[in-house]
């Protein structure tokens, strides 16, 4: 049974009636541009071939009820009630409903099933938010664009879940396209799909999931945001996006060492995203690979969001002959990606497992991801 058929069956078992439709949204991997989104810079993520499906039916009353294969509970809130609180994972979808509720005349039942790895830095959270946001946009007739729905997902994650994330994940999950990455200008809110051309070069993007669990809401993510804000304020700009490489000497003289290194990562990372787009347009994948590696070093040494497992994943991928590799996602765990010949995937898997075992790390999970389309209605 496909995941789409399974989610319908689970919906019927749980709620005792049929859904009105099924929607889905992918997880994402970020090719390059880390922590640049909330600094209003550039990011270049793509949707992956792992999706969250949601079956939804309208209700006659104003209750919003959600269930998932993740546990066997039904969580609910009332459209006329208070903001949902203490509802575990259900805060993600009910948070979206809360943000979108203004013109809602009726509630809904929703059941989620997903093959997006949870907590691996592949944004299972955006997949759940975007699948329900697209569904509610249709049943509530709210006529939002996909970009607006992405911002609604971000708002739910920031205000209801309480994770201070940027807009990248939801934008990627909403607007992704097959074989392409989404260049997002987080200030202008403009997106452009950039052709990746992986297949014609016999390349794949491998994910090395270290199984080190990350927690966005933890202090590390917040403190990076705080450093970026302090840097921007001290340098007299609204956001770090306003700065370029030529501002680095001034930044170094005006900031304390820690803040400078945080700021330096953001400034150089924005440039690396733009350079990556040029490299892709020129078909220069070697140069893209170099940028991925430089991005990883910057996150390891200046932004300090990597962990030894991620560094080892990147080193091992390069030893096996990857064109480039870097940790992806918010950091402090999760996954690395490697741009590598399809024929070397097996070797990569063996080498990573061996290297992790030699260091007494948990066994990593290695798999290729295919750049895939964004949120859609499936039936
Ligand atoms: P990531 O987005 O990197 O996977 P997060 O910590 O941001 O990690 O989001 C993971 C959380 O999202 C889970 O702990 C859970 O609360 C929620 N979630 C994701 N997918 C599902 C799902 N299919 N069903 C229920 N909750 C989910
Ligand atoms: Mg997330």
Distance from residue 16's CA to the centre of ligand 2 (Å)? 31
- Catalytic residue, from 37, 169, 209, 302: name it: 169
State residue 213's pLDDT score: 86
- Choose the residue to mutate in 66, 71, 74, 89 for probing ligand 1, maximizing ligand atoms within 8 Å of C-beta: 89
pLDDT tens-digit profile of 234-286?
999 999 999 999 999 999 999 999 999 999 999 999 999 999 999 999 999 99
Which residues, including other chains, have CB under 8 Å from residue 330's CB and lie 6 or more apart?
34, 35, 121, 165, 214, 216, 221, 305
- Choose the residue to mutate in 11, 72, 118, 331 for probing ligand 1, maximizing ligand atoms within 8 Å of C-beta: 118
The finding on whether 165 has its CB within 6 A of some atom of ligand 1 is no
pLDDT tens-digit profile of 116-157?
999 888 999 999 999 999 999 999 999 999 999 999 999 999
State residue 115's pLDDT score: 98
Element (H, E) at 294: helix 285-301
Residue percentage of the chain with pLDDT more than 70 = 99
Give the pTM: 0.94
Element (H, E) at 205: strand 203-209
The finding on whether 326 has its CB within 6 A of some atom of ligand 1 is no
Q: Respond yes or no: is residue 169 known to be catalytic.
A: yes
Determine which residue's CA is closest to atom 16 belonging to ligand 1: 89
- Interhelix angle 124-139/168-175, rounded to 10 degrees, is 60
Distance from residue 126's CA to the centre of ligand 1 (Å)? 8
pLDDT tens-digit profile of 149-194?
999 999 999 999 998 888 999 999 999 999 999 999 999 999 999 9
Predicted confidence (pLDDT) at residue 6 exceeds the cutoff of 50: yes
The finding on whether 52 has its CB within 6 A of some atom of ligand 1 is yes
Using alpha carbons only, give the angle 359, 360, 363 rounded to the nearest 5 degrees. 105
The finding on whether 128 has its CB within 6 A of some atom of ligand 1 is yes
Determine which residue's CA is closest to atom 11 belonging to ligand 1: 125
The whole-chain average pLDDT of the chain stands at 96
The finding on whether 79 has its CB within 6 A of some atom of ligand 1 is no
Q: Which domains does the chain have, with CATH numbers?
A: 3-194 (3.30.230.10), 195-369 (3.30.70.890)
Distance from residue 51's CA to the centre of ligand 1 (Å)? 12
- Choose the residue to mutate in 70, 117, 125, 172 for probing ligand 1, maximizing ligand atoms within 8 Å of C-beta: 125
State residue 216's pLDDT score: 54
pLDDT tens-digit profile of 15-35?
999 999 999 999 999 999 999
Residue 17 token pair: 């009636």
State residue 215's pLDDT score: 64
pLDDT tens-digit profile of 340-370?
999 999 999 999 999 999 999 999 999 999 9
Predicted confidence (pLDDT) at residue 217 exceeds the cutoff of 60: no
């Amino acid at each position: 049974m496909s995941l789409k058929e399974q989610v319908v069956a689970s919906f019927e078992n749980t709620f005792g009636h049929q859904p009105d439709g099924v929607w889905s949204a992918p997880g994402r991997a970020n090719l390059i541009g880390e922590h640049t989104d909330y600094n209003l810079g550039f990011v270049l993520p793509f949707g992956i071939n792992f999706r969250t499906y949601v079956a939804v039916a309208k209700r006659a009353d104003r209750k919003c009820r959600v269930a998932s294969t993740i546990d066997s509970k039904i969580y609910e809130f009332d459209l006329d009630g208070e903001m949902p609180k203490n509802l575990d994972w259900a805060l993600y979808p009910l948070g979206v409903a809360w943000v979108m509720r203004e013109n809602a005349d009726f509630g809904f039942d929703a059941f989620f099933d997903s093959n997006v790895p949870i907590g691996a830095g592949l944004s299972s959270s955006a997949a759940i938010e975007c699948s329900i946001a697209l569904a509610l946009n249709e049943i509530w007739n709210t006529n939002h664009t996909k970009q607006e729905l992405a911002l609604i997902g971000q708002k739910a994650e920031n205000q209801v879940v309480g994770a201070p994330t940027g807009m990248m994940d939801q934008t990627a999950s909403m607007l992704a396209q097959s074989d392409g990455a989404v260049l997002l200008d987080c200030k202008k809110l403009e997106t452009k799909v950039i052709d990746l051309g992986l297949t014609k070069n016999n390349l794949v993007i491998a994910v090395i999931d270290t199984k080190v669990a990350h927690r966005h809401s933890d202090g590390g993510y917040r403190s990076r945001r705080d450093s970026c804000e302090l840097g921007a304020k001290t340098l007299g700009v609204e956001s770090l996006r306003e700065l370029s490489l030529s501002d680095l000497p001034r930044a170094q003289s005006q900031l304390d060492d820690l803040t400078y290194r945080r700021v330096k990562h953001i400034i150089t990372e924005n440039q690396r995203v733009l350079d990556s787009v040029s490299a892709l347009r020129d078909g220069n994948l070697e140069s893209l690979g170099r940028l991925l590696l430089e991005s990883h070093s910057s996150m390891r040494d200046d932004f300090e969001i990597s962990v030894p497992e991620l560094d080892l994943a990147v080193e091992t991928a390069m030893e096996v002959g990857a064109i480039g590799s870097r940790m992806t996602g918010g950091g402090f765990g999760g996954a690395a990606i490697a741009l590598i010949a399809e024929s070397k995937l097996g070797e990569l898997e063996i080498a990573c497992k061996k290297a992790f075992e030699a260091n007494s790390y948990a066994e990593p999970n290695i798999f290729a991801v295919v750049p895939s389309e964004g949120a859609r209605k499936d039936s």
